């Protein structure tokens, strides 16, 4: 993995000021990268659950299609017949 490779590169650096700063920078970068997923997990999932409920209700709703011969307005009928050709 990339993280293991980066960690091994940091371990190979000589002891000094650069090594701990780079290590802490990687820790901060990890926290920043995980901020949004953790925020979604802790706070933002309630609206997603509600949205999923609405979508499920809409998908399960009965649909009733009715057709009556001659119920199309004449101008629409010409447009529909022209589009069918």
pLDDT of residue 58: 93
pLDDT of residue 18: 76
pLDDT of residue 21: 80
Nearest-angstrom CA–CA distance, 74 and 60: 34
Determine, yes or no, domain membership for 37. yes
pLDDT of residue 48: 83
pLDDT of residue 60: 93
Nearest-angstrom CA–CA distance, 17 and 14: 9
Q: Is the dihedral of CA 75, 81, 83, 85 positive or negative?
A: negative
For the chain, how many structural domains are there in total?
Answer: 1
The helix-helix angle for 18-39 and 2-11 (nearest 10°) equals: 160
- Give the chain's residues under pLDDT 50: none
pLDDT of residue 42: 86
pTM of the shown model: 0.40
Determine, yes or no, domain membership for 84. no
Range of the domain at 8: 2-60
């Amino acid at each position: 993995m990339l993280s293991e490779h980066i960690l091994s590169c940091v371990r190979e650096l000589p002891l000094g000021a650069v090594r701990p700063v780079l290590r802490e920078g990687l820790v901060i970068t990890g926290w920043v990268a995980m901020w949004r997923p953790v925020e979604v997990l802790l706070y933002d999932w309630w609206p997603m659950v509600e949205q999923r409920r609405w979508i499920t209700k809409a998908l399960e709703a009965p649909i009733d299609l009715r057709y009556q011969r001659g119920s199309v307005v004449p101008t629409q009928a010409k447009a529909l017949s022209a589009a069918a050709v």
